[in-house]
Structure 1
């Protein structure tokens, strides 16, 4: 019986790991924290696997666990790390501008409120519907629309992000 449950969880975990890790990276901002976040979410899901497995949407259940873990982790952070995409030397055009743009995007996402960031990541980078995002975050669809609109407006108004995107377009 126990082996069947473990095999079921292992199958679930391996089939969703890549997508879960990608979402965790977009929430956390770096690969190390993303792995910790995804592993913690899966650990919590494993501890309550019977409940998760019986849920209407086990994926949404695990994503919700991950978002809650991320939110709890942010509450405890007093000193934030600021990732930078600035390098001391300029290399020849080798596609590194995409890394710079990605860094600028991650910094811009980091400047959003946690709710706006979660909505923008789930809605536009994970390509989820408004109702899915609302269910995952435990808020109304109207609230998702509001956070989405405000988050996108702040991203559009972010001068550092705009400059990096313009530079990427020019170098292509």
Structure 2
């Protein structure tokens, strides 16, 4: 039962400190977190759902997070874990086909050609490869942490990232000049 002066979902006064701190955090970091979610899902609507789910989990744990500087990491971890759960659930319902569905034309306003090519190439990667690349190069996670998050071995992370980067290079037509990623060892 909610208090008469409060929100029924939050169980308290809308002006309490916890709620305000969380609101300020989301206002300050929401855009950056949405970009990370978009890279994980490759779909804006799905990214918004993913971020919302992660923020709901974060809000419930807000009082337990002692180090406020670690909140971004907590939210990113919640997004990755939620995305993996959704991916596993969806994996049972998705069947590959020879023909790709028609997609709406992407608005390229304000994007560089490199960013656009990379975004399209990331969209074509299989789910696990995309997750591994985003965690490694966008979130700058070490391989052992990626292995723990994805539930695979460090060797599998290395080979998955290597195959993904090779595919990105080929798909984006970037060859060996892929910025920020060392060239493959031959």
TM range (shorter): 0.5 to 0.7
Q: Any idea what the Cα deviations from partners look like across 1:97-118, whole Å, max 9, x if unmatched?
A: 957973x544532443433212
**Deviation of residue 144 (structure 1)?**
4.3
**Deviation of residue 146 (structure 1)?**
3.6
Aligned to 1:50: 63
Contact 1:130-1:141 at 8 Å conserved across structures:
no
Measured in 1, the distance between the counterparts of 2:101 and 2:73 equals: 30
Aligned to 2:103: 84
Q: Of 146, 150, 154, which aligns to 2:163?
A: 150
**Deviation of residue 65 (structure 1)?**
0.4
Please report the RMSD computed on the Cα atoms of aligned residues, expressed in angstroms: 3.8
Question: TM-score with structure 1 length normalisation?
Answer: 0.66
Measured in 2, the distance between the counterparts of 1:132 and 1:19 equals: 24
Contact 2:121-2:168 at 8 Å conserved across structures:
yes
**Deviation of residue 121 (structure 1)?**
1.5
Asked which structure has the greater CA Rg, the reply is 2
Task: Structure 2: state its 5+ residue gaps.
Answer: 1-11, 176-186
**Deviation of residue 48 (structure 1)?**
1.8
Q: Secondary structure at the match of 1:54?
A: coil
Question: TM-score with structure 2 length normalisation?
Answer: 0.62
Q: How many residue pairs end up in the alignment? A: 153
Aligned to 1:37: 50
